[in-house]
């Protein structure tokens, strides 16, 4: 037991016994060379950044161009979430539902024990306590991740409230989520490390009953920064279903109209479908202001006043770099001017970063995301399509001063959206909460580079949660219906909407200019919430009447405006049939209300 003594020796004196005991168990299994408890201090972060530069995991960018910023290049096999390797291992397969991978928990534990035995040999195991949500907020939750990846520690330091303050919140009776992470690349004595250690075998595993997370083989994003998708969406959706609140893959914004009235809006779009852009929207509409609260995850709970209150459980942004430029998201470009970790973007010859869409003209020469020479004639993109930036929320100039209010903000509108070249109109309002839940349940979107799979392929992504629900998807829908029952319409319960910025004309071009012009749609949404504008009933829901959106000012032609709402009965009918199959595939738990809404949709066609 000498190993155990060495391990506990370095635990902070206030660390709860439950945390210390768990850390020891994992250390005995994974056999790290040493254990470091992270305190979340600036000095600690700087030391880890310096060590990572030394180790070759990070490249320090030119401080004159990009102060205190770094580039990481992942292994080419470790560039995105791996949905095919993500498991919900509930005792009963039915609790994971038809959309999740499942394996019997005992079997999975044996597999992972085998893989993790000695997996941290020759490496440091970092103990990373964190709070999702402002430390001490009634809506916040605690977790502790152990990891052998310094990159993951640094990232978690940006994405969460990490360190001593979070650890101090954990007492003998505190619930906290244990998360084990290893890149799965033990080092033999004297063996030299690589820049991005990982393993071809990958597992991202969740045990609902014990609320544990185990991740092996990847150091990338949601696979490895377990506070994010694994905890704040998958585990949180399990906890939320028990406790009566919602974990949502949604951005949060505060919108203020020219009359000075503010609204809070949550919007759920699938991965790489524009949440960060919308969260940092710079309105083209004069007099309107949009401020950022979150860009990826919202936790929303009904309050005693019958309103839905939301927090952003994160403390930073892990956003898609390609497509982020002055013309699309100037707020993000400014936010990334310093103090940022970039992953899989290109390096310029003067030590700065570049990616497709940052500027109109690419530089004449770059080093691509795999470290190879690149010129505008190169066949492949300079940045990986899922290249990302990691940056603290307070780097964003548009951050709302209430973004970290421990009480959260009251939600006035909820929006669902996806990438849809056809069928789905620019905007539609749900007739009521039940109709809104139907919109969320049948959401579909074209695949992006944020996960493995065929780009552009249309797939159902209910509530933008397909890869992130920790429970049976149909139970998730029922839960949304139940939460709706807790809300009070006359007290200002949220109205639900659906948007689509991605509809294309026959010539393939986007019919809607998007980005800053999305403010016109957002303004209409708030005006509907206020009851200031009339709407027209349609197959999809309530759509703008007359010219209540000034589309001409957005540069849209009358023909394109019409095409944005056009209903091709044959195509929409085929989609409704596909929805039949989809609902069928979800099994007998599909709520009656969703089935009712679907037949209502069909009869309106
Ligand atoms: P995750 O972080 O993966 O959950 O995704 P996200 O939803 O935050 O994605 P993000 O905002 O980074 O999406 C980026 C992609 O969406 C880029 O390719 C953008 O160019 C594109 N995009 C965002 N807004 C619009 C829009 O209004 N119109 C069009 N055409 N594209 C948009
Ligand atoms: C997503 O894919 O929805 C993300 C990125 O936000 S990751 O954290 O890697 O899942
Ligand atoms: Mn996301």
Residue 1 has a pLDDT of 36
Contact 475, 94 (CB under 8 A): no
SS3 95: helix
Give, using CA atoms, the residue closest to atom 8 of ligand 2.
Answer: 222
Residue 460 has a pLDDT of 96
- Residue 141 to residue 129: CA distance in whole angstroms: 11
Q: Which of 271, 418, 463, 469 to mutate to test the pocket of ligand 2 (most atoms within 8 A of CB)?
A: 271
**Three-state SS sequence of 387-423:** CEEEEEHHHCCCECCCCCCCCCEECCEEEEECCCCCC
Residue 2 has a pLDDT of 38
Q: Which of 222, 233, 271, 276 to mutate to test the pocket of ligand 1 (most atoms within 8 A of CB)?
A: 276
pLDDT tens-digit readout, 430-472: 999 999 999 999 999 998 888 888 888 889 999 999 999 999 9
Question: Nearest bound ligand to CA 78?
Answer: 2
Residue 7 has a pLDDT of 54
Ligand 2 site, residue 228, Cβ cutoff 6 A: yes
Mark 161-176 as b/e (b = at least 16 C-beta within 10 Å): bbbbebbbbbeeeeeb
- Residue 277 to residue 364: CA distance in whole angstroms: 28
161 Cα to the center of ligand 3, angstroms: 19
Residue 3 has a pLDDT of 44
Residue 243 has a pLDDT of 97
pLDDT tens-digit readout, 392-433: 999 999 999 999 999 999 999 999 999 999 999 999 999 999
DSSP 8-state secondary structure symbol assigned to residue 143: E
Ligand 1 site, residue 514, Cβ cutoff 6 A: yes
Q: Which of 159, 221, 253, 320 to mutate to test the pocket of ligand 1 (most atoms within 8 A of CB)?
A: 320
Q: Residue ranges of the chain with pLDDT lower than 50?
A: 1-5
- Residue 333 to residue 515: CA distance in whole angstroms: 14
Question: Nearest bound ligand to CA 297?
Answer: 3
Kind of pairing between the strands at 212-216 and 176-182: parallel
503 Cα to the center of ligand 1, angstroms: 14
Q: Strand 373-374's sheet: what is its strand order? A: 353-354, 346-348, 366-367, 373-374
- Residue 349 to residue 67: CA distance in whole angstroms: 16
6 Cα to the center of ligand 2, angstroms: 37
Question: Nearest bound ligand to CA 274?
Answer: 1
35 Cα to the center of ligand 3, angstroms: 31
419 Cα to the center of ligand 1, angstroms: 9
The helix (run of H) or strand (run of E) holding residue 206 is: strand 203-207
CA-249 nearest atom, ligand 1: 4
Contact 450, 80 (CB under 8 A): yes
Residues with Cβ within 8 Å of residue 503, at least 6 apart in sequence: 420, 421, 422, 424, 425, 426, 510, 511, 512, 563, 564
């Amino acid at each position: 037991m000498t190993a155990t003594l060495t391990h506990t020796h370095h635990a902070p004196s206030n660390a709860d016994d439950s945390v210390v005991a768990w850390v020891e168990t994992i250390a005995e299994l994974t056999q790290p060379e040493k254990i470091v408890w992270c305190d979340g201090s600036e000095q600690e972060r700087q030391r880890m950044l310096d060590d990572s530069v030394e180790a070759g995991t990070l490249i320090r960018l030119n401080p004159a161009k990009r102060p205190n910023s770094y580039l990481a290049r992942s292994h080419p096999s470790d560039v995105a979430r791996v949905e095919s390797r993500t498991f919900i291992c509930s005792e009963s397969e039915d609790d994971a539902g038809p959309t999740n991978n499942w394996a019997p928990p005992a079997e999975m534990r044996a597999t992972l024990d085998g893989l993790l035995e000695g997996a941290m040999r020759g490496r440091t195991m970092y103990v990373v306590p964190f709070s999702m949500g402002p430390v001490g907020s009634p809506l916040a939750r605690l977790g502790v991740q152990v990891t052998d990846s310094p990159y993951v520690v640094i990232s978690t330091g940006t994405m969460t409230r990490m360190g001593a303050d979070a650890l101090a919140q954990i007492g003998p009776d505190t619930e906290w989520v244990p998360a084990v992470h290893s890149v799965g690349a033990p080092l033999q004595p004297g063996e030299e490390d690589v820049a991005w250690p990982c393993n071809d075998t990958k597992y991202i595993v969740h045990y609902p009953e014990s609320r544990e997370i185990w991740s092996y083989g990847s150091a990338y994003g949601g696979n490895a920064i377990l506070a994010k998708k694994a905890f704040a969406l998958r585990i949180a959706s399990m906890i939320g279903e028990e406790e009566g609140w919602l974990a949502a893959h949604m951005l949060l914004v505060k919108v203020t109209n020219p009359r000075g009235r503010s609204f809070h809006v949550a919007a759920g779009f699938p991965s790489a479908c524009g949440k960060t852009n919308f969260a940092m929207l710079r309105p083209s509409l004069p007099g309107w202001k949009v401020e950022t609260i979150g860009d990826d995850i919202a936790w929303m709970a009904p309050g005693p006043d019958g309103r839905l209150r939301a927090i952003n459980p994160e403390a930073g942004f892990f956003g898609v770099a390609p497509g982020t430029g002055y013309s699309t998201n100037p707020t993000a470009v400014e936010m990334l001017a310093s103090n940022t970790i970039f992953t899989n973007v290109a390096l310029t010859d003067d030590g700065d970063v570049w990616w497709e869409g940052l500027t109109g003209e690419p530089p004449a020469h770059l080093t691509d995301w795999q470290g190879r020479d690149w010129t505008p004639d190169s066949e492949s993109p300079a940045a990986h399509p899922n290249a990302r930036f990691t940056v603290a929320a307070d780097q964003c100039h548009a951050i709302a001063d209430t973004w970290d209010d421990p009480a959260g903000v009251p939600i006035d509108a909820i929006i669902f959206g996806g990438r849809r070249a056809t069928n789905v109109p620019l905007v539609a309002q749900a007739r009521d909460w039940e109709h809104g839940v139907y919109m969320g349940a049948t959401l579909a979107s074209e695949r992006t580079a944020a996960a493995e799979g065929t780009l552009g392929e249309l797939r159902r992504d209910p509530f933008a949660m397909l890869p992130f629900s920790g429970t049976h998807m149909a139970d998730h829908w029922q839960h949304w219906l139940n939460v709706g029952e807790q809300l009070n319409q006359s007290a200002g319960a949220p109205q639900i909407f659906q948007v689509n910025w991605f509809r294309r004309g026959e010539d393939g071009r986007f019919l809607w200019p998007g980005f800053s012009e999305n403010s016109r749609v957002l303004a209409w949404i708030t005006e509907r919430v206020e009851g200031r504008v009339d709407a027209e009933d349609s197959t999809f829901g309530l759509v703008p009447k007359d010219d209540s959106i000034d589309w001409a000012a957005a540069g849209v032609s009358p023909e394109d405006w019409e095409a944005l709402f056009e209903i091709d009965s044959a195509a929409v009918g085929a989609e409704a049939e596909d929805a039949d199959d989809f609902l069928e595939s979800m099994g007998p738990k599909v709520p009656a209300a969703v089935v009712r809404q679907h037949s209502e949709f069909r009869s309106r066609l």
